[in-house]
Each structure stands twice: as structure tokens, then as C-alpha cells.
Homo-oligomer: A and B are copies of this chain.
Amino acid sequence: MNFTGAHILSINQFQREDVDRVFAVADQMEPYALRKRVTRVLEGAILGNMFFEASTRTRVSFGSAFNLLGGEVRETAGFENSALVKGESLQDTARVLSGFSDVICMRHPEAGSVADFATASRVPVINGGDGANEHPTQALLDLYTIRKELADKGRSVDGMSIAMIGDLRHGRTVHSLGKLLSLYDEVHVVLISPAELALPESIIESMRSAGVEVTVSHEMTQSLADVDIVYSTRIQEERFSTKQEADLYRGKFRLNQAIYTEYCQPNTVIMHPLPRDSRADANELDIDLDDNPNLAIFRQTDNGLLVRMALFALVLDVADKVDEFSHEVHWYNSRQRPIKS
């Protein structure tokens, strides 16, 4: 794919070489995200960070990524959707807003809305999540994290195995990651969920026809034995038809240190798209895992910054100029402190 000036709307746009290109640029962004250096390559550029649905962390992640490249951010945080309320079409909104910035990141509650918006935008649009449909930067940061965590252990995405746990039916994160993994060779995916929340058959078929080995399970612990990655997601009680049904599953898909120690290989990486629900009746990833060095959930969000910086750099065609416009950091850098759990 030619990234320059392109809209980033769906992971379906990505071939393996495109993913490799994004990840190579993301690697290059690390010194800037870690504050070893500052770059001003996008000085004067403006991001329109249009969140027509609230999401503090994703919004701030996109905004900070743009700031880290030297650009400015104008934004909306989801609560003043006045023109749309007055009957304005998404295309009109796009024609107007795309005159105010150099690139737009957009989140919107309706599936397909971001693509509709992009058809009328004069500047590149990056999908920050459109309802149940797509959230491509989340899938890319997940895969980037998998690649990095495995590389630290001398392994690669090709040939790896991953358990996906929880609500696999509704989670767009899991759907998109599944598609991305289809670009790799000899991947084994273990799907662990209640039957009601199984991954849609069409996605399973698509993965299998791309050469992914898919195993389906309704039980967690035994299925964790041979995976490199455990990718946990939230099970929402309201997804079940009765509370009794929910109670049957409650607790069967929760991971904690004791289960990890008993069932997982040492160094199995633990991931989660966040936020994790730490209330007692949810608690899909127990906080007693916080001291486990294989808990990668906060490295995921840190990686999100790198991946988003990379996409901005590629779409605006400055990946090769980032270093040229860089200078040293003048302030005390606490950014490299380890995460305290």
C-alpha cells in the first residue's frame, strides 16, 4: 500500500509488507516516545482529533502521538455533536472539518461511519474506532506488542500460538487481530469462550483458509498449556440471556497468578486490550499478576503511541525526516521509569 495521503480505515487494507513497514517506523519512533530526543518534523501541522464518542485513552494516545512528532491537535471529545444533531450528513461534516487540519483521526459510534466520512474528506482519515466494526490501530498495536514480546524471547510471530479468551463474539479487537494474524505463517490460535460468545464462524473460516490453525475450546485452564500469548478480554454479564447463565461462566475465564503458575508455560505473555475491569465480579485479569514481568498490558498501550506515531509519519510522508528535525531533551526525563504496580 502507498501510505502517503492514504486513509487508514480497516486492517483489511494491510498486507504483510505494509504491517512490516508500519512496525519498522514504529521502532524508529521509540527514542522520541521515550524522550531520548525531541522531533519537530510536524511543526505547524494540525491533527483534527474528532472523537464523536468518548474514549479518553485512545483520544489522548492519538493526540500525544501527534504532539510527539511536533504537531498541534484540535479536538472534540464526544459531547457537542451539534451539527450532526441538526441533520448534517457525515459527508458535509467531513468537507468542513477537513479544511481545518492536515490529518483527521475519527471515532464514531456507528459502524461504517468513519469510511463514509473519509469519502468526502480532503485530508487523510485514520479510523479511531467505528462502533462494532473496526479499530485498526488497536489491532496493529496488539500485533506489534506480540512481535516485540516474542522477539525479546528469540521467537517470531510466524509459528507462534495464542489463546484468545473471553467474549470473542462481540470484541472487535479480537476479530481484527485474528485477521492480521492470517498474514503470518504457521500461527496457532486457541479460541476460549462460552459457546454463546464464540468467535463468529465466518472469521474462523477465513483464518483457516489463510492457513491459521484454529482450536475452539470452552474451557480455559487446560487450553493454556502450550501458548506463547494469552490474550484476555472482558466478558460482560449483560451478554447472557439470564443471570443464571452468566453465573455458570463467572470465574471460569479469569486469569490470576495461581492459574498462570499452574497451567501456563514460563514466560507466557499476558495481554488485554484494556481497560480491565478490576471490580470483584469481573476481574478477568487479577491484579496479583501485576508483578509478573510477562504482563504486557501496559507495554501494549505504550506501543500504541509508537504505532500511531508511525501511521501519522507514513500518511504524512515524514518517516525519513523525523531524525533530521530532532534535538535533545532539555527537561528531566521520567518517561523511562519502570511501571510501578
Residue A67 is within 8 A (CB to CB) of chain B in the complex: yes
Task: Say how far A106's CB is from chain B's closest CB, in angstroms.
Answer: 12
Is residue A4 within 8 Å, beta carbon to beta carbon, of the partner chain? yes
Docked pose: A328 CA to B106 CA in angstroms: 28
The answer to whether B74 touches A77, judged by C-beta atoms less than 8 angstroms apart, is no
Q: Is A186 an interface residue (CB 8 A)?
A: no
Q: Report whether A123 and B334 are in contact in the complex, using a CB–CB cutoff of 8 Å.
A: yes
Give chain B residues whose Cβ lies under 8 Å from the Cβ of A41: 330-331
Interface residues in A, total, Cβ within 8 A: 86
Sample of 23 A–B contacts (CB below 8 Å): A35-B102, A38-B44, A42-B330, A44-B70, A55-B82, A56-B76, A56-B83, A60-B97, A61-B100, A72-B73, A73-B74, A77-B79, A87-B275, A87-B278, A89-B278, A95-B298, A95-B341, A96-B301, A99-B335, A100-B305, A121-B340, A124-B334, A317-B331
Quick check: is A277 within 8 A (CB to CB) of the other chain?
yes
Distance of A44 Cα from B68 Cα, bound (Å): 7
Q: Which residues of B contact A93 (CB under 8 A)?
A: 275
| Prevailing SS type, chain A contact patch | loop
Residues on A close to B: CB < 8 A?
Answer: 4-5, 35, 38-46, 48, 54-57, 60-61, 63-64, 67-68, 70, 72-74, 76-83, 86-89, 91-93, 95-97, 99-102, 119-124, 234, 274-279, 282, 287, 298, 301-302, 305, 315-318, 321, 325, 329-335, 337-341
